[in-house]
Amino acid sequence: MYDLLSIIFVVITIALAIMAVEIKDVLKSVYCLCGFFIFIGIFFWLFNAPYLAVFQLLIYAGAIIALFIVVIMLTVKKT
As for how many domains the chain has, the answer is 1
Domain that holds residue 8: 2-75
Tens digit of each residue's pLDDT, the chain (79 residues): 888 988 999 999 999 999 999 999 888 998 999 999 999 999 999 889 999 999 988 998 888 888 888 888 888 776 6
User: What is the share, in percent, of the chain residues with pLDDT greater than 90?
Assistant: 51
CATH of the domain at 47: 1.20.120.1200
Backbone angles phi, psi at 48, to 5 degrees: 60, 45
pLDDT at 61: 82
Residues 6+ positions from 26 with CB-CB distance below 8 Å: 72
d(CA 54, CA 58): 6
